[in-house]
Amino acid sequence: MINKFKNTKSYLDNFSQEIVKLLKIEIGRSRRRRSMNPRGKNITAPIDSTKQLKDSIKSESKEDTNKISYNIESLSYGLTVDEGRKAGKKPPPVKDIAQWIKAKPVRLRDAKGKFVSMDDKKINNLAGVIARSIGFYGTAPVNFISEALEASMGKLNALGDSVGKDVMENVDDILLKIGYIKKGDNYEIRKE
């Protein structure tokens, strides 16, 4: 039956791709983020300096006989970035933070303001400090998902046109499936 609703399916396929596009735009947009650490600095930068989160976002559809569903997927930390992280939780893995430091890249300065060369030991030490700070203070929410969804809601209103078109094209099948019988050009409720 889902195959007969080609207009609706096409619209939902396009809508899910639009959400993916808007999520990628929101991730790449430079935004002000506040530090939860009282000694930390607020920053204005894109969420995903390594582009890994942005590149991981995709839409997948799953069809069964009478339904279709869509999942928007990304790397697991995307939801944590969006919602933030509460203070007092177990720190994130140091190896993940170290990987982020290398990919970003983060550069350290000494007391005189000169850049310091980063070896694995310094990277791991810095990653440990950052991980402990995140565990202790948490992180502020970024809300890029809700902003992307809010931007897409206006486009969802047009879904009714596609559904209506499909219903009109399949009215006979729909009425027969729910228990009517066709007599000429008229439909009657099937009596058992």
- Mean pLDDT check: name the lowest of 127-131, 183-187, 188-192: 188-192
In terms of pLDDT, which residue wins out, 187 or 111? 111
- pLDDT average, residue stretch 1-5: 61
Q: What is the pLDDT of residue 170?
A: 76
Instruction: Read off the pLDDT of residues 67-82 as tens digits, 9 standing for 90 and up.
Output: 888 999 999 889 988 9
Residue 110 has pLDDT above 60, yes or no: yes
Instruction: Read off the pLDDT of residues 150-170 as tens digits, 9 standing for 90 and up.
Output: 888 877 777 777 777 877 777
Residue 1 has pLDDT above 70, yes or no: no
Longest distance between any two alpha carbons in the chain, whole Å? 91
Residue type, 25: I
Q: What is the pLDDT of residue 42?
A: 82
Q: What is the 3-state secondary structure (H, E, C) of 72-115?
A: EECCCHHHHHHHCECCCCCCCCHHHHHHHHHHCCCCEECCCCCE
In terms of pLDDT, which residue wins out, 29 or 156? 29
Contact 187, 180 (CB under 8 A): yes
- pLDDT average, residue stretch 99-128: 89
- DSSP H helices in the chain: 6-28, 52-56, 77-83, 94-103, 120-137, 144-156, 159-169, 171-177
- Reported confidence tier of residue 2, pLDDT bands at 50, 70, 90: low
- Reported confidence tier of residue 31, pLDDT bands at 50, 70, 90: confident
Rounded to whole angstroms, the Cα distance separating 170 from 165 reads: 9
- pLDDT average, residue stretch 94-99: 91
Q: What is the pLDDT of residue 21?
A: 93
Q: Sign of torsion, CA 99 105 111 116?
A: positive
Q: What is the pLDDT of residue 105?
A: 79
Q: What is the pLDDT of residue 73?
A: 93
**% of the chain exceeding 90 in pLDDT:** 35
pTM comes to: 0.73
Residue 141, preceding peptide bond in cis (omega within 30° of 0): no
Contact 48, 27 (CB under 8 A): yes
Which residues share a beta bridge with 31? 45
